[in-house]
Amino acid sequence: MMKIKLITLGRLKEKYLKEACDEYIKRLSAYAKVEAVELEPVRISDNPSDKEIEKALETEAELIKKKIPEGAFVTAMCIEGKQLSSEELAASLDIQAGRGVGSLVFIIGSSYGIAPDIKALADLKLSFSKMTFPHQLFRVMLLEQVYRAFKINEGSKYHK
């Protein structure tokens, strides 16, 4: 069975968002073993300098790297990433499964994004939109799209 690891900076705070994530994780359990890893973002000042942000992202990158399993297909969620339709995401996941990739990792960074070295090690840089979304809401959106991808690949009517 495929393994999916969602690595996020920050914790879900709102009960309704946690419930939505739990629901999609439950639905995905028919297709994959899903693990959500919440890491603490580095605290920075209210008006951080570019250097302070860079240092925080580097520290967060070290935390993220420790959580990525060897041989995993890594997707960094970032605004400059490639935009895919639901069908294209499904095809990408299907290709990885066909290649024998046993573990998919999706990374959602902190409010300042993801360090360049994490983006560089990612197999795919993915963007849902040029718009900015709240990180907690985005986690629900990502889980739903991964679930949708599995349903598309099985030929389900869920996607219709």
3-state SS, residue 1: coil
70-110 confidence digits (pLDDT tens) = 999 999 999 999 999 999 999 999 999 999 999 999 999 99
Q: What is the pTM of this model?
A: 0.95
Q: Give the pLDDT confidence score for residue 117 in this predicted structure.
A: 95
Contact residues for 34 (Cβ-Cβ < 8 A; gap 6+): 3, 4, 5, 6, 25, 28
Domains of the chain (ranges; CATH) run: 2-159 (3.40.1280.10)
Q: Give the pLDDT confidence score for residue 91 in this predicted structure.
A: 97
- Overall average pLDDT of the 129-155 stretch: 94
Give alpha helix (H) positions in 2-132: 15-28, 50-67, 86-98, 116-121
Contact residues for 71 (Cβ-Cβ < 8 A; gap 6+): 101, 102, 103
